[in-house]
């Protein structure tokens, strides 16, 4: 641990506030890299003689901040970690930083299935850091999860995250293109969830450098209209879901209507759009008849 005075740290925070740099990002860096949470800091007073113990030396911490501000590199990639729901996940350049709006998928899935006692098999297609699958098995002890990703390095991070958080073995991990690695689950999956790459080309090309330079393109880019992966997932879903099984997709703000049409075409009913907390139709749901 590296000791610094509370005063030095607060003076640095004050300078950053003065420069109008993003103070939430600074607190995240202090937490994830320095090991000092925002609430720890609130307990200290600027004029106190208190000492603070950091996980890295102050100079290195400042260098990481400069790396963040000059290159627009997200703190999560600098720190190698991210908070999502009540978990801390390891993050590398191979995985998307799990987004706050995606957190809601866990409640949507639990609401759809209803009773906590139900034993079901679910699939998290394109698991990335593993966030969705891990949260679901931890909150639903009777659920067995399958997590897939096309990227073997992402899948390794997902498995590592699961092993760190849980000693159970309720998730099986498979590498491959959407449903392809799940042949032996054909017709047995009760619930499939995916936050697939859905950003249309024109939007992708205008994303800020913090995203385009650091987050994996394969996690975001959904082809010309953003729907190319979603079409693959929906068209193959009937081979893998049980009759009455559910599909939950996260989507771009304007895609839900088109996704509902696709779901209808492939034999789904009970179609629904769920708004995220920002009021955007972020999730589209259907049940395979
Ligand atoms: C938007 S990210 C979602 C990651 C994570 N589920 C989350 O919500 O934070 C999409 C994920 O799909 C994976 N992916 C992209 N194309 C795929 C494919 N053809 N088959 C399976 N996974 C794919 C990416 O590697 C990435 O991890």
Q: Give distance in angstroms: CA of 2 to centre of ligand 1.
A: 38
Give the per-residue pLDDT at 46.
61
Mean pLDDT (the chain, rounded): 96
Give the number of other CB atoms < 10 A from CB of residue 251. Answer: 23
Mean pLDDT of 136-164: 97
Q: Give distance in angstroms: CA of 239 to centre of ligand 1.
A: 20
Give residues with Cβ within 8 angstroms of 124, minimum separation 6.
130, 132, 133, 136, 145, 146, 147, 148, 193, 194
Higher pLDDT, 232 or 48: 232
Exposed / middle / buried, residue 104 (Cβ in 10 Å: 0-12, 13-18, 19+): middle
Do 277 and 101 contact (CB within 8 A), yes or no? yes
Give the per-residue pLDDT at 43.
81
Tokens, residue 80: 């190698």
CA–CA dist 146, 171 (Å, integer)? 5
Tokens, residue 206: 């205008």
CA–CA dist 108, 194 (Å, integer)? 12
**What percentage of the chain carries pLDDT values higher than 90?**
92
CA–CA dist 138, 180 (Å, integer)? 26
For residue 249, pLDDT beyond 80: yes
Give the per-residue pLDDT at 21.
87
In short, whether 126's Cβ falls inside 6 Å of ligand 1 is yes
Give the per-residue pLDDT at 116.
80
Distances (CA, A) of 58 to 11, 52, 85, 145, 263: 13, 11, 29, 42, 53
Relative to the CA of 133, which ligand 1 atom is closest? 6
E-strand spans in 94-170?
120-125, 143-149
Mean pLDDT of 68-76: 97
Q: Give distance in angstroms: CA of 132 to centre of ligand 1.
A: 11
For residue 246, pLDDT beyond 70: yes
Lowest mean pLDDT among 36-50, 52-66, 235-249, 260-274: 36-50
CA–CA dist 16, 81 (Å, integer)? 22
Give the number of other CB atoms < 10 A from CB of residue 58. Answer: 17
Mean pLDDT of 64-81: 98
For atom 19 of ligand 1, the residue with the nearest CA is 177
Q: Give 45's pLDDT tier (boundaries 50, 70, 90).
A: low
- One-letter-per-residue 3-state SS of 165-220: HCCCCCEEEEECCCCHHHHHHCCCEEEEEECCCCECHHHHCCCCHHHHCCCCHHHH
Give the per-residue pLDDT at 289.
94
Alpha-carbon radius of gyration of the chain: 21
Q: Give 117's pLDDT tier (boundaries 50, 70, 90).
A: confident
* Nearest residue to 149 (alpha-carbon basis) of 126, 115, 129, 171: 126
Mean pLDDT of 158-177: 97
In short, whether 91's Cβ falls inside 6 Å of ligand 1 is no
Give the per-residue pLDDT at 214.
98
CA–CA dist 67, 59 (Å, integer)? 12
For residue 48, pLDDT beyond 80: no
Do 251 and 285 contact (CB within 8 A), yes or no? no
């Amino acid at each position: 641990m590296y000791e610094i005075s509370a005063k030095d740290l607060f003076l640095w925070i004050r300078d950053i506030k003065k420069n109008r740099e993003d103070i939430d990002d600074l607190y995240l860096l202090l937490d994830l890299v320095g090991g000092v949470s925002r609430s720890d800091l609130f307990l200290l007073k600027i004029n106190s003689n208190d000492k603070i113990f950091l996980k890295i030396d102050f100079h290195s911490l400042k260098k990481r901040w400069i790396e963040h501000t000059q290159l627009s590199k997200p703190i999560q990639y600098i720190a190698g970690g991210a908070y999502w729901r009540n978990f801390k996940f390891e993050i590398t350049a191979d995985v998307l930083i799990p987004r706050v709006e995606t957190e809601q998928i866990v409640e949507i899935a639990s609401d759809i299935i209803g009773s906590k006692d139900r034993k079901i098999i679910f699939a998290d297609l394109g698991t990335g850091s593993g966030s969705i699958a891990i949260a679901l098995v931890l909150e639903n002890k009777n659920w067995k999860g399958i997590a897939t990703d096309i990227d073997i390095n992402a899948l390794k991070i997902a498995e590592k995250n699961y092993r760190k958080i849980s000693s159970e073995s309720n998730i099986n991990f498979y590498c491959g293109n959407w449903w392809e690695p799940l042949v032996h689950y054909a017709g047995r999956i009760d619930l499939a969830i995916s936050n697939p790459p859905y950003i249309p080309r024109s939007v992708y090309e205008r994303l800020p450098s913090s995203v385009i330079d650091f987050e994996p393109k394969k996690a975001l880019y959904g082809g010309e209209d953003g729907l190319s992966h979603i079409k693959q997932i929906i068209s193959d879903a009937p081979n893998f879901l049980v009759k009455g099984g559910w599909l939950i997709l996260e989507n771009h703000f304007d895609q839900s209507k088109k996704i509902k049409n696709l779901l209808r075409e492939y034999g789904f009913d009970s179609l629904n759009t769920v708004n995220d907390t920002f009021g955007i139709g972020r999730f589209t749901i259907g049940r395979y008849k």
